[in-house]
Each structure stands twice: as structure tokens, then as C-alpha cells.
Structure 1
């Protein structure tokens, strides 16, 4: 393994953006002063949004990309999808003298592609994001495999579940994993400032009528919720208190918007607009939305809370360059510029 890389104070760190989606992680790392040198995203609609905002079309399916063609970089960033890991049958494979363990168990999974590129390119650091359930999936065995496999490549491994609701007005818990090839580096997840964001801060002033629920859909949602209430279940729509935060925005929001509904005086509640969804994830209003409402809802539901990623990205950059406060970081706009106005 090559010696650990050292960085001069004026050197700009580089990163790659895997499973890039619409570029939320990229936006945050660029705000932290780093430079993106490669991106990959297979979904054609997400590619369209990414290209509209960053001026480049991401490479397609990561499984078809030879690591040799990826430029050298310092930080691997990936919000990889979590697919089930098969653990069963190790004893049987041992008895048959067949491959087993990590390499065998994860063939075909998308995390394996992250590991493949780490192994080939040996970056100085990695930054991974996933749903918080990853830590408990398959009674913790999936996460244990991920952690051990990265450590086996010679990296440290730090992780933490963090809720973005101090920065954006939604309950959004995610697990973040950070590690360094220099195992003498200690990484501390930073404290998250509480901006006390409220839903009312991300709402548009003039919303088209098409976002108001029809009588048919509103009656259906109310009846559905009542049916489950009688059964003692918690299923139902989420009518938002606009002075607080809301439920997690999901990729299924396009179906009926039921998890986050905005009350309206004298008429049925409405769903969020795509721009409001962008703001809910901390995207600036300059972020272009060149796709249909349906695709936009999916994209923002699958995305990251940008202000939270920015804080973590700054700490990763600072950890690699402890003596360097880059001009880009020093002059960056406050976090409230990410679509969430400061509380009065």
C-alpha cells in the first residue's frame, strides 16, 4: 500500500460522487471547498437534473465502470443503496471448499462496488451515507460486514446516526460513515447547530391549485387513517404543524403526498410543491428542477439534507487539512442560505 498522502495548505481536495442522485453530496462538498472529479448515477432522470445543475452528465451504471478510468481523488463519497446481504450457508460452503465470507456474500451488491473502487484507488478518505436502519439490518450483521470489509482495506471507520431536523424542518435520521487511510487520524463528528427550522419557512407564497388534494383523495386518506386508528395502528396521513418540523420526505411522496400535508384555511390540505421539497432538503432556490413533478418528488425524497452534509464535509476537509482554512470555506454563505430562513 502506498504511503499515506499529505496535503499542503493551499491544495484543493478532490472527491468522487458515486450513486450521485441529483448531487446533494456534491453540492455540500463543493461548499466545503473540495472539487469533484468524477460522478456516477444510473437513473436517467436524476442524470438530467444533475447535468442541469453541475454542467456534466454523470457516468452510468457503476458496475460497468472500470476503476482504472476514474481519475485519482482524495475522498470517495457515496450514498449507496443498501441491498440485503446474504449470510446464510457459510458452514456449507466451508464444507464444500467454496468461497465464503465478504467477497462471496456481497457479489452483485452495490456496496461491493464502493469497496472495489476503494481497493483500486486507495483514496485518503471515504464518506458514506445510508438509512439509519443499516446499523440494525439483519441483526447488525450487514453493518458488521461493511465495517470489517473497509477496515480490512486498511482504513479507520467512524460512524454516527444524525438527525437533520436541527437544520431542515423534517425528521430525517441517517447513518454516516467516515474513514481514513491514515489510521492515526482521529475523526470527531461535529456538533450540529440548532437553527430551529420550521415548515412555514420553506413554503411558497403562491401555490397552484393542482397541489390541493381532491375531495376524493382527502376523504380516502381520512377514512384510511380512521380505519387504522380503530385497529390501534399508527398509519395515516401527516397533517403538518407549520411552526414545527414534519415527517421524513420519502421517494414515494409522489403517490399521494400523505406523509407531509400542508393545512389550508377553508379548503382541503395540499401536498408540498417540488420547490418546497427542494427547500425541505436544504437545496438553494437556484437549484434547477428540469423534470416532471413525479420525478422531482422521487429525486428529493431520495436525496440528502444538504446543510447537514456540508457540516460533515467541512469536518472531513478540516481533518485532512488541519492547518488549512480554504478561501472557499472562509467565504461560504451561512447555512440558512440553503432554502431555510433563520427563525425570528
Structure 2
């Protein structure tokens, strides 16, 4: 039995990989009759792996061969513009409208839509409600789950919504929404409660390439390592789980500790760390990152005799800013760091994004470096035979934008297993009419 499908907003084909693997394991053959992706470089990667070049803009696609299933990792364009112009609930002007259009015209057996977790709460839930209502108006019944990739053998904290629908049939799922651990620290704590070692999940260390496979290009520069040494000495392994950021305390290293804009004295470092730790307190107001403090407010938590000299020096170096009212604020500069987060090899990664993949780091055998494109692929559950884009800048961006393949595989497997007779019946009916 063969299932024909289309792959919309296809990216580099992550949803397709998960779908095909699930269907093949369940005894279905698959055939992609159309793929669509607007990004030129994503289309290049897709072609490298599937030997077909996706069509471009979905608005230009009008004629498609009959198909059974629709896949779409559609962008979540807010419906606010359409709502203001047409009244709430109008999806025209959004990319979701193109999915509606194709479902209405071709009436496939089912679909899978993937989106960011924010879709659940966007506009107080009205956006998701609108989407479900539009799908139900086309006689598709809908179910959805919110899942964290870290629960599916992927060492990444990535929470996404997966919406499934069947024509005239309520999809039954045994999967239940589970957003998992909210960060790598809570993940490690949850793992400590598992008594059976066989239950331990995959962590970052399991997806790392060997030292021999990592070329020099990915290793941190001598200059940056010298800066890190000011904080950790020669023990770079102590960087596990640390974020390099200027507006947060906790497990963070800041530009003034690294000497990014100029070396700081111990007093200057202590002052900046105290400012970061205290500036958000409610006694200073309700503002958050933009909160500025006066000298008098600062002295309530850092009353050094040489405070004026400390502030003057930090202003000159550019770590501190001053407004016309003589109020002071740190100058954030995390975008200047070669690595903005060193992953903990014994835990999971933070969520990959298209903007920051290339600046995620790891310390391996006491050598600090950036993670490689292959490691990014593994953090998303892509198989090692998957060919990533030859230009690193596009490879990183594409994996940051992609889906976690094993999660898609499990969602599709669960959908088909729990609705198997429906799939068999619908496909037999459909193909008898062709």
C-alpha cells in the first residue's frame, strides 16, 4: 500500500524524513508528489538528500497530483493584520490560508502540521482556536500534542506543537502532551531520580564527534581561550553549562570578567556582578532589563569607598552607561562572544535557533570549541547519512529552523497505529476511484 504526500514549507526535509521512516516501518510505501520551500539554500540541501528540488513560493502552486497526506511545518504568521482588516478569524494574508486552500481542493486523508509552542498561547489561545475551527470547517477533525524533543532520544530542549487531522474522523492518539524539563539543570535533576541506568536518556556527549573529526576551524581562537582563562584558569571543563551573557547572573560569564572591552580590576568585576544581581529587585521599580539605578540606589548593595572611581573606569571602558539623570546601566554585549553557551555534555542542549546555532559551544577533552554542523544535525535527530549544506552558515541556520526528526516519526507512528483501520479503508477507497 502506497501513501502519496506533499511536503510544504519543507525546509531541508526533516518532517519528510520522520514521516517516511514511520510509514515504512508500518508497512506503507511512500511517494512525495510535491515539495515546496521558498528559501534558496534550503532547497539546495533538500535536493542533495532527496534528489528533487522543491518548488518555490506556495502561492504559485495550483496544480498537484492527487495525494493522501499533507505535511507542513508552517510559519506562524500572526493573524492580527487579517483580524484588524477582516474581523477576527480571517486567515487570509497568512501562510496558513495556503494550507486551507490545498486541503479544500484536494481533500487528502490526513495531515500533520508542526509549529512553535507559542502557537498554543498566542493571542490568548485565539490563534490556535481559529486554526482548529478552519480545519474543522473543511470536515477535518483535529487533535494535537505539545512535546519536548528531549523525551524522544534527542538531547535538546525543544518544545513544539504537532497538529494532526483526519478527514471526517477524530484522530485517536496515545501520545500525551509533555513539555519535559524546562532547562538542562532541571533535566539533570530529573535524571537523578531514575534508578535504572537503562532509562537514562541521550545527552549531549552522545552526539559529539571525536577529536579527530573536528577540524581547527571549530575550535575557539587563542585570543578567546585567553579571555576564558581569566575566569577558569586552565580548567576549561568547568565551563560546562555556562552561558556568556551580560544581563544575567547564575551560571554566567560576563564580558567584564573576560576583559572583552578592556581588563577590569577585581573591584570593577565585583561591582558589575553585584549590579547584575540586584538591579531587578522590586524595590528599584518594576522595569526589567532597561532599569537604571542611581548612585544612592547602588550604594544600598555595593557601598565601596572607591565607588566613584570604579564607575568612572567602567564608563570609560564601555561596560557601563550613564544617562542625563546620572543613572547607570550595564551595556550588554553577548553578541560579541565566539560562543554564547557552553553545553553540558551530561545534559541536553538549549533550543537550537537559526540565529545562534553557530555559537553554541562544547568543551571536549578540555578544549573549548563550537559545535559542528554534524553535531547540530544530531541534536535534531537527523541520521548521519543526511548531507548538510556545504556552506556552514546555511547548515547552521537550517538545522536551527528544522524539526526534530524522531518526534515527527513517533507522532506519525502513533497516529497510524491508533487509526490503522481508517487509513486502510480510506486509501483503498481513494485508489479505487483513481
Q: TM-score range by the shorter chain?
A: 0.7 to 0.9
Q: Which residue of 2 aligns with 1:263?
A: 363
Q: What is the CA–CA distance in structure 1 between the aligned matches of 2:40 and 2:31, rounded to whole Å?
A: 23
SS at match of 2:341: coil
Q: Which residue of 2 aligns with 1:315?
A: 414
* Normalised TM-score (structure 2): 0.63
C-alpha RMSD of matched pairs (Å): 2.9
Unmatched 5+ stretches in structure 2: 25-29, 179-197, 229-242, 247-252, 256-271, 281-288, 290-331, 335-339, 425-434
Q: Do residues 12 (structure 1) and 40 (structure 2) align? A: no
Q: Which residue of 2 aligns with 1:76?
A: 70
Native 8 Å contact 1:16 1:39 kept in 2: yes
Q: 1:272 aligns with which of 371, 383, 393?
A: 371
Superposition map of 1:95-106 within 5 A: 99-102=86-89, 105-106=90-91
Unmatched 5+ stretches in structure 1: 1-10, 94-98, 326-344
Q: Which residue of 1 aligns with 2:42?
A: 46
Deviation of 1:36 after TM superposition, in Å, equals: 2.0
CA offsets 1:174-206 (integer angstroms, 9 cap, x no match): 001011112255333279996600111111112
Q: Which residue of 1 aligns with 2:344?
A: 241
Q: Return closer, same or farther for 1:191/1:162 CA change in 2, 3 Å cut-off.
A: closer
Q: Return closer, same or farther for 1:303/1:71 CA change in 2, 3 Å cut-off.
A: same
Q: What is the CA–CA distance in structure 2 between the aligned matches of 1:164 and 1:110, rounded to whole Å?
A: 25
Q: Do residues 210 (structure 1) and 217 (structure 2) align? A: yes
* Normalised TM-score (structure 1): 0.78
- 124-133 or 230-239, larger mean C-alpha shift: 230-239
Q: Which residue of 2 aligns with 1:64?
A: 60
Q: Give the length in aligned residue pairs.
A: 300
Native 8 Å contact 1:239 1:262 kept in 2: yes
SS at match of 2:362: strand
Q: What is the CA–CA distance in structure 1 between the aligned matches of 2:410 and 2:150, rounded to whole Å?
A: 14
Q: Return closer, same or farther for 1:302/1:195 CA change in 2, 3 Å cut-off.
A: farther
Q: What is the CA–CA distance in structure 2 between the aligned matches of 1:323 and 1:75, rounded to whole Å?
A: 13
Q: Return closer, same or farther for 1:204/1:149 CA change in 2, 3 Å cut-off.
A: same
Q: Which residue of 1 aligns with 2:116?
A: 131
CA offsets 1:268-314 (integer angstroms, 9 cap, x no match): x2111001111111111111123300000000011111111111112
Q: What is the CA–CA distance in structure 2 between the aligned matches of 1:89 and 1:119, rounded to whole Å?
A: 22
SS at match of 1:174: strand
Q: Which residue of 1 aligns with 2:16?
A: 26
Deviation of 1:25 after TM superposition, in Å, equals: 0.8
The structure with the largest alpha-carbon Rg is: 2
Q: What is the CA–CA distance in structure 2 between the aligned matches of 1:48 and 1:84, rounded to whole Å?
A: 28
Q: What is the CA–CA distance in structure 2 between the aligned matches of 1:187 and 1:264, rounded to whole Å?
A: 41
Q: Which residue of 1 aligns with 2:308?
A: none
Q: What is the CA–CA distance in structure 2 between the aligned matches of 1:53 and 1:194, rounded to whole Å?
A: 33
Return the structure number with greater helix share. 2
Q: Do residues 281 (structure 1) and 380 (structure 2) align? A: yes
CA offsets 1:45-86 (integer angstroms, 9 cap, x no match): 0101101100101111101111xx111111111000111111
Q: Do residues 85 (structure 1) and 184 (structure 2) align? A: no
Native 8 Å contact 2:172 2:415 kept in 1: no
Q: What is the CA–CA distance in structure 2 between the aligned matches of 1:123 and 1:117, rounded to whole Å?
A: 9
Q: 1:109 aligns with which of 84, 89, 94?
A: 94
Q: Which residue of 2 aligns with 1:196?
A: 201
